[in-house]
Structure 1
Amino acid sequence: MRKFAHKNKKEAEKMIGKTKISLLVTAALFSSGQVIAEKGSIALDELVVTGTRSETALRELAGNTGKVSEEEIDLINADHIEESLARVSGVHIQRGNGAESLVALRSPVLTGPGAAGAFLFMEDGIPLRAAGFANNNGLAEAHYEWAGGMEVIRGPGSALYGSNAVHGLINVLSRAPSLELERELDFTFGSDDLYKVKGTVSDTVGAHGYRVSFSGTDFGGWRDEESYGQQKITARHDYFAPNGDSFQTVFSAFNLNQETAGFIESSDKKAYEDSSLMKTNNDPDAYRDWWSVRLSTRWDHVMDNGNTLSITPYLRNNRMEFRQHYLPSRAIEENEHTSLGTQIAYYMDLNGGHEVIVGTDLEYTDGSLQQTQERASYAFFGKNRQQGIHYDYDVEAVTIAPYIHAEWVLAEKWRATTGLRFEHVEYDYDNNVAAGTGEADGSACFAAPSECLYLRPADREDTFNDWSPKLGLVYLLNENHSVFANYARGHRAPQTTDLYRLQNQQLVGDLDSEKADSLEIGMRGNAGIVDYEVAAFYMKKKNFFFRDPDGLNVSNGRTKHRGIEASISLPLGEQFDVAANYTYAKHTYDFDNASSGTASGNEVDTAPRHIANVRLGWNFNTNSRAELEWAHMGDYFLDPANEYEYDGHDLVNLRVETQLSKSLTLHGQVKNILDEEYADRADFAFGSYRFFPGQSTSYQVGASYSF
Structure 2
Amino acid sequence: MKNLFLFLTLLVLSVSATAQQNKPLQDSTKVEKLDEVLVKAVRVDAKAPITHSNVSKEDLAKRNLGQDIPILLNFLPSVVTTTDAGAGVGYTGIRVRGISSQSTNVTINGIPYNDAESLGTFWVNLGDFASSTESLQLQRGVGTSTNGSGAFGASINLLTDAVSKNASGEISNSFGSYNTRKHTVKFSTGLMNNHFEIAGRLSNIASDGYIDRASSDLKSYFLQGSYIDDNTLIKAITFGGEEVTYQAWYGTPLARINGDEAGIEAFIAENYLSEAEAENLRNSDRRYNYYTYDNEVDNYGQDHYQLHWNQRYSNQWSTTLGLNYTKGSGYFEQYKEGEDFADYGFEPLDFNGEIIDQTDLIRRRWLDNDFYVLNANVNYTNDNINLILGGSYSHYDGDHFGEVIWAEFASQTEIRDRYYDGNSRKNDFSVFTKANYKLNEKISLYGDLQLRNVTYKTTGTTSDLVEFAVDKDFTFFNPKAGITYQLNNENNLYFSYARANREPNRTDFESNENIEPEQLNDFELGWRHNKGNFTFNANAYYMLYNEQLVLSGQLDDVGNPIRTNSGKSYRLGLELEAIIPVTSKLTLQPNVTLSTNKNEETIIDFDGELQNLGKTDISFSPDIVAANAIVFQPIKNLQMSLLSKFVGEQFMANTEAETSKLDSFFINDFNINYTLKTNSVFKEVVFSALVNNIFNVEYISNGYYYTYDDTWSDPNSVTTIEGAGFYPQATTNFLAGLTLKF
TM-score, scaled to structure 1: 0.82
Secondary structure of the 1:420 match is strand
Change (3 A) 1:493 1:414: same
Counterpart in the other structure of 1:339: 371
Residue correspondences, number: 627
**Equivalences for residues 671-690 of structure 1 within 5 A:** 671-686=692-707, 687-690=722-725
Counterpart in the other structure of 1:535: 539
**Equivalences for residues 492-571 of structure 1 within 5 A:** 492-499=502-509, 502-503=510-511, 506-507=512-513, 510-546=514-550, 548=552, 555-558=564-567, 559-571=569-581
Q: 2:497 aligns with which of 482, 487, 509?
A: 487
Counterpart in the other structure of 2:357: none
Change (3 A) 1:570 1:305: closer
Change (3 A) 1:555 1:390: farther
Q: 1:670 aligns with which of 686, 691, 697?
A: 691
Change (3 A) 1:81 1:283: same
Q: Give, as a single letter, the amino acid of the residue that structure 2 aligns with 1:620.
A: P
**Equivalences for residues 362-441 of structure 1 within 5 A:** 362-370=393-401, 392-431=421-460, 440-441=465-466
Cα offset for 1:312?
0.9
Which one has a bigger Cα radius of gyration? 2
For the 8 Å contact 1:162–1:490, the answer to whether it is kept is no
1:118 and 2:103 correspond:
yes
**Equivalences for residues 572-583 of structure 1 within 5 A:** 572-583=582-593
For the 8 Å contact 1:540–1:561, the answer to whether it is kept is yes
Could you tell me how far apart the structure 2 residues matched to 1:66 and 1:51 are? 15
Could you tell me how far apart the structure 1 residues matched to 2:38 and 2:594 are? 27
Counterpart in the other structure of 2:244: 257
For the 8 Å contact 2:257–2:285, the answer to whether it is kept is no
For the 8 Å contact 1:131–1:164, the answer to whether it is kept is no
Cα offset for 1:554?
6.0
Counterpart in the other structure of 1:647: 663
Change (3 A) 1:390 1:129: farther
The higher-RCO structure (CA 8 Å, 6+ apart) is 1
Secondary structure of the 1:660 match is strand
For the 8 Å contact 2:550–2:618, the answer to whether it is kept is no
Q: Give, as a single letter, the amino acid of the residue that structure 2 aligns with 1:480.
A: E
Could you tell me how far apart the structure 1 residues matched to 2:666 and 2:583 are? 27
Q: Give, as a single letter, the amino acid of the residue that structure 2 aligns with 1:364.
A: H
TM-score, scaled to structure 2: 0.78
Q: 1:478 aligns with which of 488, 496, 516?
A: 488
Could you tell me how far apart the structure 2 residues matched to 1:608 and 1:556 are? 20
Counterpart in the other structure of 1:10: none
Secondary structure of the 2:548 match is strand
Could you tell me how far apart the structure 2 residues matched to 1:464 and 1:694 are? 40
Counterpart in the other structure of 1:20: 26
Counterpart in the other structure of 2:97: 106
Cα offset for 1:268?
3.5
For the 8 Å contact 2:124–2:218, the answer to whether it is kept is no
For the 8 Å contact 2:244–2:300, the answer to whether it is kept is yes
1:245 and 2:274 correspond:
no
Counterpart in the other structure of 2:69: 81
Q: 2:158 aligns with which of 163, 168, 172?
A: 172
Q: Give, as a single letter, the amino acid of the residue that structure 1 aligns with 2:290.
A: N
1:149 and 2:135 correspond:
yes
Could you tell me how far apart the structure 1 residues matched to 2:582 and 2:131 are? 29
Counterpart in the other structure of 2:619: 605
Could you tell me how far apart the structure 2 residues matched to 1:600 and 1:269 are? 33
Structure 1 residue runs of 5 or longer lacking an equivalent are 1-16, 32-47, 111-115, 377-387, 442-455
Range 147-156 or range 510-519, more displaced: 510-519
Q: Give, as a single letter, the amino acid of the residue that structure 2 aligns with 1:261.
A: A
Deviation sequence 1:370-417 (CA, Å, 0-9, x none): 3679999xxxxxxxxxxx988631112222211111111122211111
Could you tell me how far apart the structure 2 residues matched to 1:212 and 1:73 are? 18
Could you tell me how far apart the structure 2 residues matched to 1:412 and 1:84 are? 38
For the 8 Å contact 1:21–1:209, the answer to whether it is kept is no
1:635 and 2:649 correspond:
yes
Deviation sequence 1:590-639 (CA, Å, 0-9, x none): 23322277744200122111111111111122211111111112111232
Could you tell me how far apart the structure 1 residues matched to 2:627 and 2:260 are? 23
Cα offset for 1:85?
0.9
**Equivalences for residues 449-488 of structure 1 within 5 A:** 456-458=467-469, 461-488=471-498
For the 8 Å contact 2:34–2:233, the answer to whether it is kept is no
Counterpart in the other structure of 1:14: none
For the 8 Å contact 1:589–1:599, the answer to whether it is kept is no
Q: 1:660 aligns with which of 670, 676, 697?
A: 676
Counterpart in the other structure of 1:43: none
The sequence identity of aligned pairs, in percent, is 17
Cα offset for 1:289?
1.4
For the 8 Å contact 1:264–1:278, the answer to whether it is kept is no
Q: Give, as a single letter, the amino acid of the residue that structure 1 aligns with 2:490.
A: N
For the 8 Å contact 1:82–1:95, the answer to whether it is kept is no
Could you tell me how far apart the structure 1 residues matched to 2:457 and 2:663 are? 45
For the 8 Å contact 1:569–1:580, the answer to whether it is kept is yes
Secondary structure of the 2:31 match is helix
Could you tell me how far apart the structure 2 residues matched to 1:673 and 1:233 are? 33
Secondary structure of the 2:162 match is coil
Q: Give, as a single letter, the amino acid of the residue that structure 2 aligns with 1:341.
A: V
Secondary structure of the 2:285 match is helix
Could you tell me how far apart the structure 2 residues matched to 1:195 and 1:648 are? 30
For the 8 Å contact 1:606–1:683, the answer to whether it is kept is no
Range 615-624 or range 220-229, more displaced: 220-229
Could you tell me how far apart the structure 2 residues matched to 1:405 and 1:88 are? 27
Could you tell me how far apart the structure 2 residues matched to 1:598 and 1:270 are? 32
For the 8 Å contact 1:273–1:677, the answer to whether it is kept is no
Counterpart in the other structure of 2:716: none
Q: Give, as a single letter, the amino acid of the residue that structure 2 aligns with 1:280.
A: Y
Deviation sequence 1:552-573 (CA, Å, 0-9, x none): 8664323211111121112221
Could you tell me how far apart the structure 1 residues matched to 2:563 and 2:181 are? 42
Deviation sequence 1:259-289 (CA, Å, 0-9, x none): 1234443354963899961122211233211
Could you tell me how far apart the structure 2 residues matched to 1:528 and 1:273 are? 55
CA-based RMSD: 3.2
Could you tell me how far apart the structure 1 residues matched to 2:75 and 2:703 are? 22
**Equivalences for residues 84-99 of structure 1 within 5 A:** 84-97=72-85, 98-99=89-90
For the 8 Å contact 2:98–2:620, the answer to whether it is kept is no
Counterpart in the other structure of 1:38: none
Change (3 A) 1:229 1:339: same
Change (3 A) 1:21 1:427: farther
**Equivalences for residues 204-283 of structure 1 within 5 A:** 204-205=191-192, 206-241=194-229, 244-266=231-253, 268=255, 271=258, 277-283=285-291
Could you tell me how far apart the structure 2 residues matched to 1:679 and 1:267 are? 10
Could you tell me how far apart the structure 2 residues matched to 1:606 and 1:331 are? 32
Counterpart in the other structure of 2:272: none
Counterpart in the other structure of 1:383: none
Secondary structure of the 2:504 match is coil
Range 301-310 or range 119-128, more displaced: 301-310
Change (3 A) 1:389 1:204: same
Deviation sequence 1:198-230 (CA, Å, 0-9, x none): 121122221123321232111123332221111
For the 8 Å contact 1:262–1:283, the answer to whether it is kept is no
